[in-house]
Amino acid sequence: MNLKQEEARLLMECLPYIREFRGETVVIKYGGHAMLEESLKKAFALNIALLSYVGIRPVIVHGGGPQIEQMLERLSIESSFLDGQRITDAPTMEVVEMVLVGKVNQDIVNLLNQAGVRAVGLSGKDGRFMRAAKLQARSKDGQKAADMGQVGKVKLVDTSLPSALAAEGFIPVIAPVGAGEDGTTYNINADSAAGAVAAAMRAKRLILLTDVPGVLDAQDRLIPGIRTDEVESMIKSGLIRGGMIPKMQCCLEALAGGTEKAMIIDGRVENCVLLELFTDSGIGTQVV
């Protein structure tokens, strides 16, 4: 088979998936190296543009941990963490909101606009579409509640705003910042926010971009598929551990809300979104 024939075969492989996903919502959590390396950023924008061009409705939820860390260091504001989450006092929250909403979000919007699509930046505070509540964490000894400051969890997602934008051909780009009933601003874990958005929008797919190939077995081989009823035992055995646990929890939330499948994929692979959605084998771990 020559190169041209191989290219045609790959295009034909994509066709049934384009047909399946046309008109459907796909929520993508964007973060890690895919959001930092120039070549990966450009590839991601073109992937999202292609999805839009073939009639799929992408919704982007992004993180920004490294950018927040850089700004806190520049301002000499110290940070501390509990179970991998940043304890967010009032000065830290100001920086988080400034970086996520004012800088990172707009950079992604500009990147997508330059790729030829129409993107609109949002935070959960816009139209109060993502309402939050204070997250009550536990201390490491598990004996008493730990005050995480202005760290929140998603309480409610009103889909009318992002759905209206998507219906008009705009790509919503969502910063994971929300407000409580009393107006307090909360820093929300981006994976959790993506899961909540996917569930509320009944997205066809939830895709989490990470810096690992997916969920790995004891021999560090990729596990291509996991059923929801296997997750608890895999956490107990240690196959799912560390930062993969909250990612898996957000997948479960999305699936419980009506999302058909969730994928954890390697954002360091160029064109990872297209490879996962439009090829028979995919590249990451599917949770069903």
What span, in angstroms and rounded, lies between the C-alpha atoms of 10 and 219? Answer: 31
Query: How much is the pLDDT for 43?
Result: 94
Query: How much is the pLDDT for 142?
Result: 56
Give tens-digit pLDDT for 62-74.
Answer: 999 899 999 999 9
Give tens-digit pLDDT for 143-199.
Answer: 556 788 999 999 999 999 999 999 999 999 999 999 999 999 999 999 999 999 999
Query: How much is the pLDDT for 84?
Result: 67
- The pTM of the full predicted model, rounded to 2 decimals, is 0.93
Query: How much is the pLDDT for 6?
Result: 75
What span, in angstroms and rounded, lies between the C-alpha atoms of 190 and 176? Answer: 6
Q: What is the DSSP string of 67-111?
A: HHHHHHHHTT----EETTEE-B-HHHHHHHHIIIIIIIHHHHHHH
Q: How confident is the model at residue 78 (pLDDT cuts 50, 70, 90)?
A: confident
Residue 134 in tokens: 């204070």
Residue 173 near residue 109 (C-beta atoms within 8 A):
yes
Q: How distant is the alpha carbon of residue 246 from its chain centre?
A: 12
* CB neighbour burial string for 268-283, b if at least 16 within 10 angstroms, e if fewer: bbbebbbbbbbeeebb
Q: Does residue 4 sit within a domain?
A: no
Q: How confident is the model at residue 94 (pLDDT cuts 50, 70, 90)?
A: very high
Full residue range of the structural domain in which residue 190 is found: 23-287
For range 86-98, the mean pLDDT? 92
Residue 179 near residue 124 (C-beta atoms within 8 A):
yes
Q: Does residue 13 sit within a domain?
A: no
Q: Which residue has the tokens 């409705």?
A: 57
Give tens-digit pLDDT for 5-22.
Answer: 777 777 788 889 999 999
Angle at 106 between CA 102 and CA 108, to 5 degrees: 135
Judge whether residue 285 has pLDDT over 70: yes
Give tens-digit pLDDT for 263-282.
Answer: 999 999 999 999 999 988 78
Give tens-digit pLDDT for 111-152.
Answer: 999 999 999 999 999 999 999 999 886 655 555 567 889 999
CA atoms within 13 A on the CB side of 16: 4
For range 237-250, the mean pLDDT? 89
* CB neighbour burial string for 18-47, b if at least 16 within 10 angstroms, e if fewer: beebeeebbbbbbbbbbbeeeebbebbbbb
Using CA of residue 126, residue 33, residue 245, residue 222, what is the dihedral sign?
A: positive
Q: Which of 42, 28, 90, 35 is nearest to 67 (CA)?
A: 35
Q: Does residue 148 sit within a domain?
A: yes
Query: How much is the pLDDT for 32?
Result: 85
Give tens-digit pLDDT for 186-235.
Answer: 999 999 999 999 999 999 999 999 999 999 988 889 999 999 999 999 99
Judge whether residue 252 has pLDDT over 60: yes
Structural domains counted in the chain: 1
Least confident interval from 92-101, 117-126, 231-240: 231-240
Query: How much is the pLDDT for 165?
Result: 96
Q: Which of 121, 114, 123 is nearest to 44 (CA)?
A: 114
Residue 100 in tokens: 């996520």
CATH of the domain at 202: 3.40.1160.10
